[in-house]
Copies of this chain bind each other. A is one copy, B any other.
């Protein structure tokens, strides 16, 4: 194992994110990981799960002398805890948080650190937003791998000391995270576009489908294919989690929501007036954008193999074992079941185009019946 990038980490808050940070730091080889929570039952769980090396009952013992302190507390508590913790840090200590909005909060924390300490602790604070986990899973779901392959945004400002970003980034990379640095307000604008607007759009779409269902009955279910399922998946999220996020990022959310409504109104008028060249142009702009934004979606470089299954445990294993033994790397894998019960379905296996023919042969040799092509229920139907 490579040497740990820091010697000591302290985590305040033992929820999903806090617990996972402590577990990830410990797994990454940090020799001194401490955690606390104001709730005794959470501390008990942290002890039972060995999230850190030491679970302290009080804040001061937890953070005193720690090289990096993570504040994994509710957004409204971050600034209050920050001013208590800052004086207990060593001179080169780093203080960070995990709140999902950064603009107003960073201003608030920095201004309170400026006035509350004789030492200029403001330069040691660097806001963070680990884009991982779903609160619906609760603290029970905390685990050391939560941040693997996840983006962790850090939001330095003019006040941040120069050494803080590279040191904290190195630690987060040792958790498996991809670190991105953005100004705090820019972070909030971007999550409005790629997270908050999609949530609102999906919720509204599901609500429209519900209206149709009220009017026409369950037939809506039968004709809803993969496009509908994908587009509305996040609509199932808990409103109690999203309302405060939208409220907290109100300015940026309003701006992108206006832009979205404007785009849709132009489409509405184009459909109404029969200007389908304009409809085509928006579809094309969206298509190019999606392929550019999510390069993995590029279908030219991969092939999809459709393998009919009868939902018996052994078949999925047969397929994967055969590919594994042949050293064929599976880029993506998904299952699609019949909706009426699950006795039949298909396994969709995506492999690089270069090994498509080989993968097909391997699966056939394993007694399966792969075919190249599109999954049932996909667009455009």
CB-contacts of A340-381 with B (<8 A): 340, 342, 344-346, 369, 371-374, 376-381
A88: Cβ under 8 A from any B Cβ: no
A250 contact set on B, CB distance < 8 A: 271, 274
Please pick, from B233, B243, B330, the residue contacting A230 in the complex, using a CB distance under 8 A. Answer: B233
CA distance A103 to B147 in the complex (A): 50
A205: Cβ under 8 A from any B Cβ: yes
CB-contacts of A196-216 with B (<8 A): 197-213, 216
Interface of A is mostly: helix
A160: Cβ under 8 A from any B Cβ: no
A107 contact set on B, CB distance < 8 A: none
Contact between B132 and A377, CB atoms less than 8 A apart? yes
CB-contacts of A32-83 with B (<8 A): none
Contact between B313 and A203, CB atoms less than 8 A apart? no
Chain A interface residue number, banded: 35 or more
Contact between A180 and B325, CB atoms less than 8 A apart? no
A197 contact set on B, CB distance < 8 A: 205, 208
Q: A148-185 toward B: CB 8 Å interface, digit per residue (1/0)?
A: 11110100000000000000000000001010101000
| A330 with B344, Cβ < 8 A, contacts A209-B193, A287-B203, A290-B233 known | no
A246 contact set on B, CB distance < 8 A: 271, 276, 279
Which B residue sits closest to A244, measured CB to CB? B276
A116: Cβ under 8 A from any B Cβ: no
A176 contact set on B, CB distance < 8 A: 308, 338, 344
CA distance A180 to B339 in the complex (A): 13
A211 contact set on B, CB distance < 8 A: 259
A6: Cβ under 8 A from any B Cβ: no
Please pick, from B189, B202, B240, the residue contacting A286 in the complex, using a CB distance under 8 A. Answer: B202
Which B residue sits closest to A276, measured CB to CB? B247
A237: Cβ under 8 A from any B Cβ: yes
Q: A302-318 toward B: CB 8 Å interface, digit per residue (1/0)?
A: 00001010011111111
7 sampled A-B residue pairs with Cβ under 8 A: A176-B308, A194-B220, A195-B381, A204-B267, A236-B299, A242-B380, A330-B335
